[in-house]
Structure 1
Amino acid sequence: MTKTYISHHPLEGRIPLDPGIRAVDHLEVPRRQAIVTVMAADGEETAVAAALTTMSEPSLRFVGPGEWLVVSQSETPDGLLRRSLSLVLADTAYVLDQSDGRIVLRLSGPNVRRILAKGVAIDLHPSVFAIGAASNLLCGHISVNLARTGENEFELIVTRSLAESLFDDLRLMGREFGLSVDFSG
């Protein structure tokens, strides 16, 4: 017997359908994004890192020695996994699709560092945490991968099961600044 599952975004009921006016400090939630974990095979870390930096569109997030998250806004998970990464990495790395198990939250605005400072214990000054930098850390009590994607823009990647808790925490941390929220695209 075949069973059809209907997948929905874990924040579907938490974000208003009519988001209202977008504030200068904003939390954007993409409905769908391709996220792939790449782990270098033994002795292949340098080769994998070099191969990953040659890719133009997907964004690369450092997770740990020999491990990265590759995030794409334009590729499908299958396309990123099969066409892009398997061609570039061949037999030098293990690649695993994380798209259904992780959620991306984009935080932007002039007060983004002050908002994040309420929940993370890392120096987010531009001279220390440059554009393109990423780190695994705790936001409150929740493990996330935090990446700086622009001048005043950060992305937090969290497991699907903890997305609601992180969403609530970020809204609470941004309430002082009038943080607005909506789905992107």
Structure 2
Amino acid sequence: MIRDYYNRNALDEKLRGTPQSPGANHLAIGHRQAVALVLAIAGEEDAVEKLLSSATEFAVRFSAPGEWLVVSENDTPEALQRRLDALCSGRAHIVDQSDARVLLRLSGPSVRRILAKGIGLDLHPAAFETGTSANALCGHIAVNLARTGQDAFELIAPRSYAESLFDDLMTMGREHDLTAAFAG
């Protein structure tokens, strides 16, 4: 039996009955974004990086040398794959990760203090600027962390760890009245 997990978020059960209006510190769970992994072919890393950085219709997150996560709010997973295949024109392998990853957006005035409880990176704006991304551990869970604004971060995590990461973030944000809901 083939299952399509794209229509069901890993956190559907966790967010049932949670507040819909965001507080000052809020965890928004992405529900319909497409995520792809771009792996540059050996020797093509610089060319692929330049091509990806020139695109404005999706967000590019550095994952490792020659490897990026691409997030699109507007494309279906298939459309994002086609768009990236055309853009990279044989210089990279594109792997759809939409069903395998969960996107969480954490925002608010206390976001750095919340994340500092579980992430061992210097999140000061001078050290981790807007647009910067890195792989890190949030507690015991591997995430790709990206700073998307002054007080805003995105975490991309494996689907199988989504509930555990959600619980950890909510515990880390308890003293800061962290709220959570699906993104609108």
TM-score range normalised by the length of the shorter chain: over 0.9
Q: Match for residue 66 of structure 1?
A: 66
Residue 45 of structure 1 aligns with an amino acid whose one-letter code is E
Paired with 1:87 and 1:21, the residues of 2 have a C-alpha distance of 40
Partner Cα distance (1:38, 1:151) in 2 = 27
2:93 paired residue number:
94
Give how far 1:18 is off: 5.2
| Corresponding residue of 1:55 | 55
- After TM superposition, the structure 1 = structure 2 runs for residues 16-27 of structure 1, keeping only pairs within 5 Å, are 16-17=16-17, 19-27=19-27
* 4+ aligned runs moved over 4 Å, structure 1: none
Which whole-Å CA distance do the structure 2 matches of 1:118 and 1:4 have between them? 39
Aligned amino acid, residue 30 of structure 1: G
What percentage of residue pairs aligned between the two structures are identical?
A: 50
Give the aligned partner of residue 172 of structure 1. Answer: 171
Q: Which moved more, 1:99-108 or 1:14-23?
A: 14-23
| Matches of 2:137 and 2:18, distance apart in 1 | 31
Tell me which amino acid in the other structure corresponds to 2:175. E
Matched, 1:135 2:134: yes
Question: How many Å apart are 1:21 and its aligned residue?
Answer: 3.7
Is 1:44 aligned with 2:37?
no
Q: Quote the offset at 1:5 in angstroms.
A: 3.5
**SS across alignment from 2:105:** strand
What displacement does 1:86 show?
Answer: 1.1
How far has the Cα of 1:89 moved from its partner? 0.3
Letter in structure 2 aligned against 1:178 = D
In structure 1, list runs of 5 or more residues that go unmatched.
Answer: none
Structure 1 partner of 2:180: 181
1:116 maps to: 115
| Structure-2 separation of matches of 1:68 and 1:4 | 28
Q: How does 1:152-167 map to 2 (within 5 A)?
A: 152-167=151-166
Change (3 A) 1:6 1:95: closer
Alpha-carbon deviation of 1:17?
Answer: 3.6
Q: Secondary structure at the match of 1:147?
A: strand
**Distance in 1 separating the partners of 2:160 and 2:126:** 33
Unaligned 5+ runs, structure 2: none
Equivalent position amino acid for 1:155 in 2:
E
Q: What residue in structure 1 maps to residue 14 of structure 2?
A: 14
SS in 1 for 2:120: coil
Structure 2: distance between partners of 1:156 and 1:18: 20
Aligned length: 182
Alignment partners' CA distance in 2, 1:106 and 1:126: 17
Partners of 1:44 and 1:4 in 2: how far apart? 35
What secondary structure, in the 3-state scheme, does the structure 1 residue paired with 2:13 have? coil
CA contact (8 A) 2:18 2:180 kept: no
CA RMSD of superposed structures (Å): 1.2
Distance 1:36 1:99 in 2: 7
Which amino acid is 1:166 matched to? L
